[in-house]
A and B are shown apart, each in its own frame.
Chain A
Amino acid sequence: MNPLEITDASLTLGGRILWSGLNLTVKPGEFVAVLGANGSGKTSLLRAILGQLPLDSGEIRVHGRPVARGDRSIGYIPQQRIMPAGTALRGRDLVGLGVDGHRWGPPWPSKAKRDRIDELVSAVGAEAYANLPVGVLSGGEQQRLRVGQALASDPSLLLCDEPLSSLDLHHQRGVAELIDRGLHERGTGVVFVTHDINPVLDMTDTVLYLANGRFTSGPPEEVLTSEVLSGLYGTPVEVIRSGSRVFVAGIPEFPLHEEAAL
């Protein structure tokens, strides 16, 4: 069964059509990168899959079932955020929230839970700092733990909302590989929202590019061309390839600092 099937889906937010007629299938083990300018509806797509935003039309099925809030077969990795120094949480507890954070009642310690957290912590290679307060962890360390947290329920679909932004290149690579490894080992489908494709370019099977209320999807080498993106934006856009990296220039209404890297 496919982790994600989106059929003819449309979403309007604040009177603006974000996308319509959207079709996307994510197969087990498939890595889908979602690209597009700010405000093109990338995060809203994830929220729709999570059941937080109702579609105007069309259908989203997760693992064959209609979307539902709190679906345990979906893992979610957000952007890194600053954890204040006085947060009552150690690295391993951040992972633990993925194990039983949604359940009612106080957190009684149990061996089963401890073992499960140990397993996840070592799966993401975070043993060295799992017992430190999250407030002292670096962005990269925190994101590794979040990958562990998201894997806690053995999801068949992993949704990532710019998990690499604000990480340095070295950590971007490390966290991306961690996500990629999880997907091949477990057959998880990944929907990866990002404004920069380069850290995940070699693991991307499919690009979904959202722009102007329209979209286009396909393998990265087919979608990320001057021709296709110019057609999508309705204005000349230039795609430059340099070694294994891709740069897009000339996207309208695009903030300058994001123009260099797509």
Chain B
Amino acid sequence: MTDFWASIFNFSDYGQLLALVSNSIIAGAVLGIVGGLIGVFVMQRDMAFAVHGISELSFAGAAAALLFGANVVAGSLVGSLVAATLIGVLGSRARDRNSIIGVLMPFGLGLGILFLALYPGRSGNRFGLLTGQILSVDIPQLGALIAISLVVLVVLLAIWRPLVFDSIDPDVATARGVPARTLSIVFMILLGLMVAVSVQIIGALLVLALLVTPAAAALRVSSSPVLVPVLAMLFGFVSAVGGILLAIGGSLPISPYVTTISFLIYLGCRLVGRINGRRLRRTAVPA
């Protein structure tokens, strides 16, 4: 039993380990923050399923890169961007979008499994793509992940207001001259980039834990257009960094830690939201 717990939580030699993984922690922090932020739009635009679809193609791209000895981050970026562009161009309406994602997703996952099966190298790398491998990403690649996240952050901030407008009220936004179509393609590309980064860190199967759960949790406790993104970034940060900090001592992948933290935050927010909701329910307001 002690062995069991020791494999989940182990903090011996923690200081030295921490120094070794400081770059991973920075990457995790940036991913958590930017992932939480983009998650707010993922929720508003009803794109959780798209995130999952993109991540499977991103996985296929990364697996192909692994097999052919190319850069894994580059491979996963290509997969992500292809998927995001396809979904963005072909699926402007929600129903079309879901069917396209439903078709792309198993195809991507199947391709990825094929490439992994053909890959002769270490098996740890194989599962890493599906379940996360941040601690095995080398420093130049970590730098690339951080740089991509920052680019996403900057562009997201630049298109913030029209993107909110278009996400919430597309008809009026278009009437007001917001370039809806361009925004939606740009957003899909940003999402593709973020998914590719997340695949490296928590794995293709668990991307939703950083790109959807924090924002979903924030939306449970607030409707303020300022507080929701701030909370989502905070939750993403706590999940990603907390997960890495808890994981580095043990021998397990970081993903279960990240997903569990983000899930617990979500549960807590649901509870708080429930309490607030009772308070908020009004006696009839004359309109």
- The residues of A with any CB-CB pair to B shorter than 8 Å are 50, 52, 68-71, 74, 76, 78, 83, 86-90, 93-94, 97-98, 100-107, 109, 128-129, 132-136, 138, 140-141, 144, 146, 149-150, 159, 161, 171, 174
Contact = CB atoms under 8 A, between A and B. Distances in A.
A103 B168 CA distance: 15
Interface stretch (B93-101, B128-136, B153-161, B244-252): B153-161
A69 B177 contact: yes
A134 B228 CA distance: 14
Nearest to A77: B172
Interface residues of B, number: 37
A88 B224 contact: yes
24 contacts: A50-B174, A50-B175, A52-B175, A78-B175, A83-B168, A88-B44, A88-B225, A94-B168, A98-B172, A100-B161, A102-B161, A104-B158, A105-B157, A105-B161, A107-B160, A107-B161, A107-B226, A109-B226, A128-B285, A129-B287, A133-B223, A138-B287, A149-B172, A174-B287
Which secondary structure characterizes the binding site on chain B?
Answer: helix
A62 to B, nearest CB: 12
Nearest to A70: B177
Contact of B161 (A74, A101, A135): A101
A105 B161 CA distance: 6
Interface of B: 40, 43-44, 157-162, 164-165, 168-169, 171-178, 216, 218-220, 222-226, 228-229, 280, 282, 285-287
Nearest to A97: B165
Contacts of A144: 287
Nearest to A84: B46
Contacts of B229: 88
A86 B162 CA distance: 19
B222 A128 contact: no
A75 to B, nearest CB: 9
A55 B178 CA distance: 21
Nearest to B286: A128
A93 B157 contact: no
A105 B157 CA distance: 6
B225 A93 contact: yes
A106 B168 contact: no
B287 A140 contact: yes
A159 B175 contact: yes
A104 B43 CA distance: 21
Given A86-B220, A141-B285, A144-B287, 20 more contacts: A74-B175, A76-B175, A78-B172, A86-B219, A88-B219, A88-B223, A88-B224, A90-B224, A93-B224, A101-B162, A101-B165, A103-B161, A104-B158, A104-B162, A106-B157, A107-B160, A107-B226, A109-B226, A128-B286, A150-B172
B274 to A, nearest CB: 12
The 4 closest A-B pairs by CB, nearest first: A70-B177, A133-B223, A101-B165, A76-B175
A89 B216 CA distance: 14
Contacts of A76: 171-172, 175-176
A87 B174 contact: no
A103 B162 CA distance: 6
B45 to A, nearest CB: 11
Contacts of B216: 86
Contacts of A140: 287
